[in-house]
Every structure is written in C-alpha cells, then in structure tokens.
Structure 1
Amino acid sequence: TEVSVIFHHTIDTYRRKNNPDAVLLATLDSLAWNGKNDVSESLLDTLIIENKAREICAEIYLVKAQQSFQKNNYADALRIGNEAIAKYPKYKRINALKNLKQEIQNPALFVNTNRLAYPETEFALQVNHRNLSGFTVEYYKVNLPAISPELKNQPAESFYKKYGKKISSQHLSLIRSDDYSFQDTVILLKAPQEGVYLMRMIPDNKAKTSIENFLYITRLKAITRALPGNQCEIAVLDAESGKPVSGAMISLFTEKKGEYQKIKTLTVDENGRVRLIQQNDYHYFTAEKNEDTAMPLQTIHKGSYGFSGNEEVRKRTTLLTDRKLYRPGQTVYVKGIAYSLQADTANVIAGKKHTLTLTDANRRIIGEKEVHTNEFGSFTTEFLLPSGGLNGEYELKTESGNALFRVEE
C-alpha cells in the first residue's frame, strides 16, 4: 500500500543517514500499522536482542507491554515494564513505562445498582474492581423531596453538610486477583427505611475518588396504561407483593425552566387506580402514601389505545444482560426467553434454534452465537467484548428481539 511504501522509504532514508534510533522508531511504527497495533511477540523479542545495548530499546519494551495490557495480560505487562525500567532507568521516555506500571497497579472500583429499592429488603450492588481489598459504604438520609432538582447533580461536599445526615456505615471486603485483572462480584445489602438516601462508596488503599448514588426507598410501584376516550389509568401497587395500594395520592407535574411544578393531586380508589384525561399540561407524576414519599418522578406515557382482532401468531424474544454498562474486555452474560403471542395468550417456544449477533457502536458485527431454547423457552450464552473496542451503544439481536447496553472505558 501507499502507507507501507512511505514507511519503507523513511526507514531506508534513516538507515542511509546512519541513524539507528530513528530506524528503530520508524520500524516500530511500520509494524504497528501493518499489524493493526498487534505486532508479533517473537518479532519484538528479536528487535530487543538486536537493540538491547541502546536505551532506545525501551521503546520496544513499551510496545510489548502495551500489547499485553490491551489483551488484559496485566501481570505480563507489569513484568515487561519492570524489566525495561531496571535496564534503562535514565531513558528520556522511561516515564511512559512508569505510567503504564502505575495504571496497572492503581486500585479501581466501579459499582452499578438500581436506584429504587424496597424498605428493609436486600438489593444488589454489581461491583467491578481491581487491586482492591474492600470499600466502605456510607448512607446519608437526604432532607429533600424526591423531585428536587438538587438530586440531578453530582453532590459536592457542601451537599452533605446542607442536606445529608449520616445514618450508617459498613466495610465490605473484596477478593483481589493476583494478576491485576478486574474482578466482578455481586454484594447484597439491606435497604434502609423509606426515604431518599445518598449512598457513598469509598475504596480502600486511598483510591482517588468515591462513588455516589442516590437511592429512593419506597414500597410503592406505579404503572400506567392508555384507555379509550383519550384517558389514562395509573395503578399503584405494593412493589413487593403486587397488591393494590388504596388511598395513595397521585401528584401530577409539569416542567418549566428546570423546575417541576405540581398541577393537581388525585387519590386512587380501593383498587389502587385512578383515571384521568390525557392533557399536555402535565407530563410526570409521583405516588405517595402517608410517610412513604420517596418515589422519584415517573413519566406519563401518553400512548394511544387500540384493539386488533388479528389472531396471527407473533414470535418474540426477550434478551437480558447481567448489566447495562461494561468496560472493554469484559464478558457480557446473556439470557433469552422466546415466546409466541396470539391475541391475549403467550406460550414459550422450546427447542428452537436462534442466531444471536452482537454489534458495536458502529453497528459492525463483532460476535455471533447459535443457541437453542430449553424446555422453558430460555437460553443463556456469553460474549467477550474486545479489549480495544469502541465506546458507545452496543446491540444484541435475534430475529425477534434485541437488547442495548453501553461500553465505556
């Protein structure tokens, strides 16, 4: 190619000028280009042997260490980096290797959790960590309504002083790996009483930053549906038992200049339901009863009502992933449930073959699996995300269903 010709001429020019350091650097650039940043390890080892007497050899070690790092072989990358640092401590770019070493050894903590939980029941923390033996979870009761605009922002230290009251703290232990790799685990915690809380997670080992999540602890769950005559129905249920909650109050809101303004308040009937005319002056609602006022704003989905007498059988596949946010190189665990719909009847589809594809943020196919449903109409599989993959929205898809998740470095 034209680029390869340019590299060849550049290397040849430096060789004629008797500049071996420039020859080596241009050679490494050429190899990286032709190998798409995956240079043969044996070729790099040969270059190390040929150039070991000169400090510029540290650049070969850097390429080798970076490739191991990108393949999640962190222990190898650290060993290679340490070898170069020991051999060429005064090389002018030795800090590049020291920075890579620091990145490998730095502690890291990522936590995902649902922002809604039921009082005094267990909820899950999905934890991804590296080089960390544990972290501390602190709970702060927040003296703000659940709809407060203050809850949209990342809390500053002043937020804790003004609105937060610390109510509990506990230390959680983690099992760290011996090879500096990221580990995934799920930790179950007990939710506090009803209310709005700020959960702060502070890593051990003096890690740089804490992680903060707002928690809304409520017994209430609200669902909406469209009805004929431009009506909408809201039903309030107990989120644990599914039983209707009578006497709950529904507050309707509109948004103006970032502030939520209450339009009206309605009371549900003995079946936990209330009907209203769909209007454009309100878009959100909350449900509360007595002291249970922690439900965050819910959107009123102003859909249309319709009925079809079509008896055609429609096939659907629901795809579920173990989380919604991943890092490059992590494993995506997938569960699928295949079923058929006919009028108001649903049946699982057992013994059916499905082709499951994974596409990246550019909608390029990066993985494909053939799966078969079991007797319950479900299947499980997994995909390993590429370590050097794109950030953005990825999609899992079958012929009758899909699921989206994000990948962020």
Structure 2
Amino acid sequence: MATKLPATNDLQTHSTELKVDALPPGEYFLAASDQNDFSGKKTVIGARLFYVSGISYVNNGSDYFVLNRNSGQPLAKATVQLWQQTYNYQQSKYEKTKGDSYTTDANGFFKIKRVKDEKNNNRNYSFLLDVKHGNDHLFMNDLAYDYYYYNQQPQESKSITSIHLFTDRAIYRPGQTVYYKGIVLTRNNVEKTGGVMAGYSTTVVLRDANYKDLDTIRLTTNEFGSFIGKFQLHKLA
C-alpha cells in the first residue's frame, strides 16, 4: 500500500497515523520518500524494518518462556539466538556479536547461561533475542539486560560486610577528578554486634556507561574503617 502525505512548510515536526490491514507473520519494511516512485539520485528515503509475529516471551532474570502471543501457550522447540551488544571505542559505534543459542523445552522454557567473572565477581551485559518457531520469526531491537552478583561469603558466615561509598559531587564533566570515600561496616546477626572494619582490603573500579573498566585501584581501610581515593575522568576527544 502507498499513502501520500500533505506537504508542510513550517519546518516543524509532524506526525500521522495510517491504518494498515492485518499482515501475515513476516518481515516488512516501512519506507518513506519525497518522490512518488522512490527513484532519483537526490531522492530522500527513510525505511524501518518491523516484524509481524505470533511469538512473545517473558522472563524473570535469566529464566525465559517463549509463548504464543495470542493464546499464551508455550512454544516448544523454538530456537533462540543471543546477540550481545558491545561498544567499539575505536570505531565509536555499537557492534553485535553472536552469542549462545538455545532451544525451548516442552514448557517453552530456556535459561541463559551465566559465566562468572572471576575478576569482578559480577557481570552486567546487554543482548538482543532472535527467536524462531516454525515459519514464524521475532527479532525485536529492544535490548535485554542481565546483571548478577556472586556472594563469596560462605553460607554459614555469621558476619555481613557492607561498603558505603561517597563522592564529592553527583555530576562530573569530562576531565574532572572524582574524589571518593568509602566506609566499611560489619554486622554479626547472631551476636547482634557491629562496627567498622579496619585493615579491610577492597577494589574500587571506575566503569563507563557500557560497564567497561577504565581504572582500578586496590585500597585498605584505616583504623576508622574508611578509605579515600580519586579517579581522573577522560577528556572528550
């Protein structure tokens, strides 16, 4: 189908709604152009890929269920391909890397494998889901996020350690120095005691918005259970 939109000369943003009849499952392009025939060297063309699919999914953490969008029934033997999104600092753009693939069970269930980061004791990453079932296909350009933390304290431990971190300001400009202070506290739930922890060693990491480590420092608390430090932020190129 094709629809002609009225010309506007006020240099303002406009929106419109167009009725499109129901489409069978598949991949489609919505294209727009300033020329009726979409031809010509100076033609301005915009296009958007979208999917019509009967597939849906829900999740709780790393547990996912692939379902029929209309009935809510589980879709068994659906294939799921993960695409991890990372930022290429050399080329200043996001890139998609092919990750693990899964097949749902009789309940439409699959579980994303989590790989422990031994260095940081946690992991945070974003990914896209590419789901196929029969002739149906769903690839939504909506990032899914997964963060998890491994508690290294043994289950029988009676003491709980917590770190309270403070910075000298809430917002920084590129190139500024971040000054911080940490206070380490311990609490014994059995004996109902607590206090500061002197001589406690910990690692402070500076990460960017994509959770890439920019700087790391190892610090030990003083007799008052505190430590101080600073990070130099990168300047804009």
Structures share fold, TM-score greater than 0.5: no
The TM-score normalised by the length of structure 2 is 0.41
Whose Rg is larger? 1
Q: Which has the higher strand share?
A: 2
The TM-score normalised by the length of structure 1 is 0.26
Q: Which has the higher helix share?
A: 1
